[in-house]
């Protein structure tokens, strides 16, 4: 409660992104198979989503499954997909009760049909919720996203829909998966790793980073609060001097 009371509700990130890392290592440390780590990680997802909604964070994006994750052992991928379907079904009530809109970004056409269908059903059922937008990055890779942006814009130039001279940051933003979301203000990564792993490379241009050693299944509301307090102590200058922003 003390940490929660230290948070300035008027200085929250408009867009919080989290790289949820460490499920496999958590399981290994406890002598479990990796699937148990992923299963326990879903509990941290629920806690985090509810805490963010209650705080008043408008946009939360979770890195749930990357394009590179398809290279993992088939058993682990199948387990992750099964967990995703089960979570979508079981958490619909939580999303509705907390007025949370579900969104998803990535190469969604690569998902198994049953998961794609379940995902779209939950997105449709929550589309009118307005308290917070929860975005799941699934089969997502930022380089692939940017490659698609280049191809789409090039195609429009070729067909005289837009001119080369009109291409600016706003045009690029309009063609991103995240075109309805603001840039990321705060990026959290768990498990002690200090890298971005091909996540929202364009969108985190001016984000604050917060890395922590805790493994994702052990992530609690207090860890979230610690990250937010750290964020609020920082001076965000966006290329300006301290004097200019004051």
Residues with catalytic function: 21, 69
Cα separations in angstroms, 15 against 65, 134, 152: 19, 10, 26
Cα angle for residues 77, 37, 97 (degrees, 5° grid)? 90
Closest CA to 108 of 73, 81, 146, 79: 81
CA distance 197 to 192: 13
93: which DSSP letter?
H
Q: Within the chain, how many helices (H) and strands (E) appear?
A: 9, 6
Query: Contact 131/49 with Cβ under 8 angstroms?
Result: no
Burial 87-110 (b: 16+ CB within 10 A, else e): bbeebbeebeebebbbbbbbbbee
Q: Is the dihedral of CA 137, 139, 144, 149 positive or negative?
A: negative
**Residues with Cβ < 8 Å from 32, sequence gap 6 or more?**
none
């Amino acid at each position: 409660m003390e940490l929660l009371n230290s948070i300035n509700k008027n200085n929250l990130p408009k867009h919080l992104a989290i790289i949820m890392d460490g499920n496999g290592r958590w399981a290994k440390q406890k002598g479990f198979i990796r699937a148990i780590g992923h299963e326990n990680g879903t509990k941290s997802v629920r806690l985090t989503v509810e805490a963010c909604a209650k705080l008043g964070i408008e946009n939360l994006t979770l890195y749930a499954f990357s394009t590179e994750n398809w290279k993992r052992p088939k058993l682990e991928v199948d387990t992750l997909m099964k967990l995703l379907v089960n979570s979508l079904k079981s958490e619909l009530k939580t999303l509705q009760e907390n007025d949370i809109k579900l969104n998803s970004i990535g190469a969604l056409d690569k998902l198994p049909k049953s998961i794609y269908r379940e995902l779209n059903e939950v997105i449709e059922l929550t589309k009118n919720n307005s308290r917070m937008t929860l975005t799941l990055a699934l089969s997502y890779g930022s380089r692939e996203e940017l490659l698609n942006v280049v191809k789409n814009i090039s195609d429009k130039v070729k067909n005289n829909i837009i001119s080369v001279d009109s291409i600016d940051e706003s045009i690029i933003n309009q063609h991103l998966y995240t075109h309805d979301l603001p840039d990321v203000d705060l990026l959290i990564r768990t498990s002690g790793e200090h890298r971005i792993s091909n996540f929202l490379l364009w969108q985190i241009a001016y984000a604050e980073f917060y890395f922590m050693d805790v493994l994702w299944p052990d992530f609690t509301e207090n860890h979230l609060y610690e990250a937010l307090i750290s964020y609020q102590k920082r001076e965000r200058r966006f290329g300006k001097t301290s004097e200019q922003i004051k």
